[in-house]
A and B are shown apart, each in its own frame.
Chain A
Amino acid sequence: MEADEVITVSDLHVTLAGHEVVRGLSFQVRRGEIVGLVGASGSGKTVLLRTMLGLLPKTSGTVEIMGVRLEQATPAESRRIGGRCGMMFQQGALFSSLTLRENVEFPMREYLDGSDAMYGDVALAKLAMVGLSVEDADKLPSEISGGMTKRVAIARALALDPDILFLDEPTSGLDPIAAGEIDRLIRTLQRVLNLTVFMVTHDLNSLKSVCTRILALYDGRIIAQGPMQDILAFDHPWLRAYFRGERGRAAQLA
């Protein structure tokens, strides 16, 4: 059995274009947790996520995913980890030349040894789970709406039923019903597959209803972490403004 900590980040620093975006950040995520990362727009959440996946260079510090340091991983190890992580990008990052279904099938074809019929059916099932209809499956990414793009991106991140799911704002741009469905899907998958989820979100409802732990990012560091009520009780001007501002209160009343 693997260690309980599936993600370990310690003392991470990231500098982009001469500006230190992440300044000494450490945290751990255990198997089965749903961790929500909050922070102001432009505070470096996406940068952190991309650095954790090795898409951006870090200045110092370490990132371990499933006990493997990305920069030390052998090609076989990074492929194994790639097959067990799903990432949803903020802008979707769908393959523009493939239909929606082919987008979801793509990682399956790369990593599994099943049949075309299996991939096709499971891809449709994934699309159905994120709320897309069968008729949409043969459309191209340029032919769908913004919210649909989000959903397909989630479906593709889920394609392999991964162990770790990285989501960058999965519910922004979705109507409240769809956002609720996505929240429910994430919870379901977490329960069924014992999935670990690391998600960036501004959606106070998701934070409240799905996240088991919240990390608050401010000024390049984690200023608070814990379940929702701890974060609410934490005394920091920015956090207070974030959760107790008008919009924050409205969401908590709901």
Chain B
Amino acid sequence: MAQGPSLRAGVGADGDLLSAEGDWTAAHAADLDRLAHAAPPHVRKLTISLEGVGRLDTFGVWALERLRRSVVEAGAQAQLAIPQDARADLFAGVDKALARPSGQTGRRDRWGTLLHRLGRSAEAFAVDFAAFLDLTGRLTFCFAQGLRHPARLRLRSAVHHLDRTGLRAVPIIALMCFLIGCILAQQGFFHFQRFGATDYVVDLVTILVLREIGVLLVTIMVAGRSGSAYTAEIGSMKMREEIDALRTMGLDPVEYLILPRILALIVAAPLLTIIGNGAALYGAGVVAWIYGDMSPAVYIERLHEAASHIDLEVGLIKAPVMAFVIGAVAALEGMKVQGSAESLGLGATASVVRSIFFVIVLDGIFAVLFAAMGM
């Protein structure tokens, strides 16, 4: 019954004859593919007969058409006895597809030369930077307007995001900073012992945590947790035309979606930094007590001596600025998302990678600034 496709050669009324037999269907795709290229050599006039064909589908029709065309391309004559029933429609469809002008089969050119790509990325960077400035301007404008008409600040939405990005991040940030504090202290005691300088471990940990580690850990965590979420949310809203819907209602997506999110981040980051600092110093204290034989009372006293309010301020000044950059990068990457799921994924990745990069660059700039200011 179910029999694979085959071609039987014979001699017809005028010229050669090929009789197609069996089922020419998708189930026999490999055979069809072989038969499509099985044109007999040295024919001048070929007729392909379909009388013996059982089932025939689009794949079978493709093979028959390909066969006929390969004979014609070799300079001979070939004709296909197209059945005059519903199957003719299949032939018409395949014919249209095969008749396409050659050279159109190629995909779009995705890979240019190296120079070309270099130029493209430089251009993309400039465009991104302009978009960043543009967004900063819009946000400032919206914020200023919001100060005059507080309803436009969308505080309800900001509080919702504050809960998501701030409150819910507390456990993981506290835990992470606690562990880092422990590790810093342990390393300090272990290495400083050799110089008999364990007295300075507390100074090391305090300055490191308050000025750098606390705020860096928190902002990196925020970029990974909230920045990527923001990009995914805004990106999928862009993808499903929700942002266009907002625009046609006369609502500004910057005011409605981006400003509340960034405000939430700016408020959350310093608070999280304080919590992170506390957790790290607590962790260091625990290690100092257990591993470094320093009683909590001594540790706290050293802490008082080592830490100045300037160290704390340095960390807390950096946090909101970094939060702003994280939020802005996340929003920009989200707005860049095109229609495809792939571009959403790329956007989320780019958002995290870029915001962490900028956080570190900013940290370097701040270090220079604070040094110049003697802080």
Query: Which residues on A are within 8 Å of B, measured CB to CB?
Result: 95-97, 99, 108, 111-115, 117-118, 120-122, 124-129, 134-135, 138, 140-143, 158, 160-161, 184-185, 187-188, 191-193
Docked-complex contact B86 and A188, CB < 8 angstroms: yes
Partner of A121 from B29, B55, B62, B339 at Cβ < 8 Å: B62
B90 interface residue per 8 A CB criterion: yes
Docked-complex contact A161 and B97, CB < 8 angstroms: no
A221 to B342, CA, bound (A): 41
Q: CB-CB < 8 A to B63: which residues of A?
A: 118
Closest 5 CB pairs of A and B: A142-B339, A124-B97, A114-B29, A97-B342, A129-B93
Docked-complex contact B59 and A141, CB < 8 angstroms: no
A121-B66 CB under 8 A given contacts A161-B26, A161-B57, A192-B56 = yes
Closest to B104 in A: A134
Docked-complex contact B96 and A125, CB < 8 angstroms: yes
Docked-complex contact A143 and B339, CB < 8 angstroms: yes
A138 to B106, CA, bound (A): 9
A115 to B30, CA, bound (A): 7
Docked-complex contact A142 and B29, CB < 8 angstroms: no
A192 to B93, CA, bound (A): 14
A112-B339 CB under 8 A given contacts A120-B105, A122-B59, A128-B96 = no
Docked-complex contact A142 and B86, CB < 8 angstroms: no
Docked-complex contact B33 and A114, CB < 8 angstroms: yes
Bitwise interface map of B from 46 to 72 toward A, beta carbon under 8 Å scored 1, else 0 = 000000000111110111001000000
Partner of B25 from A95, A117, A161 at Cβ < 8 Å: A161
A112 to B280, CA, bound (A): 59
B87 interface residue per 8 A CB criterion: yes
A142 to B342, CA, bound (A): 12
B341 interface residue per 8 A CB criterion: yes
Docked-complex contact A125 and B36, CB < 8 angstroms: no
Distance (whole angstroms) from the CB of A92 to the closest CB of chain B? 12
Docked-complex contact A114 and B32, CB < 8 angstroms: yes
Docked-complex contact B340 and A142, CB < 8 angstroms: yes
A interface: dominant SS: helix
B116 interface residue per 8 A CB criterion: no
A97-B29 CB under 8 A given contacts A122-B58, A188-B90 = no
Query: Which residues on B are within 8 Å of A, measured CB to CB?
Result: 25-26, 29-30, 32-33, 36, 55-59, 61-63, 66, 85-87, 89-90, 93-94, 96-98, 100, 104-105, 107-108, 239, 338-343
Docked-complex contact B108 and A192, CB < 8 angstroms: no
A95 to B341, CA, bound (A): 8
A125 to B98, CA, bound (A): 8
Docked-complex contact A188 and B89, CB < 8 angstroms: yes
**Which of B61, B62, B85 is most buried by chain A, counting CB atoms within 10 A of its CB?**
B62
Partner of A113 from B30, B66, B86, B105 at Cβ < 8 Å: B30
B interface: dominant SS: helix
Q: CB-CB < 8 A to B89: which residues of A?
A: 129, 184-185, 188, 192
Distance (whole angstroms) from the CB of A140 to the closest CB of chain B? 6
Q: CB-CB < 8 A to A185: which residues of B?
A: 89
A117 to B97, CA, bound (A): 12
A124-B100 CB under 8 A given contacts A129-B93, A140-B340 = yes
Q: CB-CB < 8 A to B100: which residues of A?
A: 124, 134
Docked-complex contact A97 and B108, CB < 8 angstroms: no
Distance (whole angstroms) from the CB of A253 to the closest CB of chain B? 28
A127-B33 CB under 8 A given contacts A141-B339, A142-B340 = no
Partner of A128 from B56, B97, B107, B341 at Cβ < 8 Å: B97
Docked-complex contact B93 and A128, CB < 8 angstroms: yes
Q: CB-CB < 8 A to B239: which residues of A?
A: 96, 142
Q: CB-CB < 8 A to A122: which residues of B?
A: 58-59, 62, 94, 97
Docked-complex contact B97 and A127, CB < 8 angstroms: yes
Docked-complex contact A125 and B94, CB < 8 angstroms: yes
Q: CB-CB < 8 A to B87: which residues of A?
A: 192
Distance (whole angstroms) from the CB of B283 to the closest CB of chain A? 44
Q: CB-CB < 8 A to A193: which residues of B?
A: 55, 57
Q: CB-CB < 8 A to A112: which residues of B?
A: 26, 29, 59
Q: CB-CB < 8 A to A118: which residues of B?
A: 29, 32-33, 36, 59, 62-63
A116 to B30, CA, bound (A): 11
A-B contact pairs, 6 of them (CB 8 A): A121-B94, A122-B94, A138-B107, A142-B239, A161-B25, A192-B57
A140 to B108, CA, bound (A): 11
A96-B341 CB under 8 A given contacts A114-B59, A138-B107, A161-B58 = yes
Distance (whole angstroms) from the CB of B347 to the closest CB of chain A? 13
A142 to B89, CA, bound (A): 30
Closest to B66 in A: A121
Q: CB-CB < 8 A to A124: which residues of B?
A: 96-98, 100
Distance (whole angstroms) from the CB of A91 to the closest CB of chain B? 10
A117 to B62, CA, bound (A): 10
A124 to B107, CA, bound (A): 14
Q: CB-CB < 8 A to A184: which residues of B?
A: 89
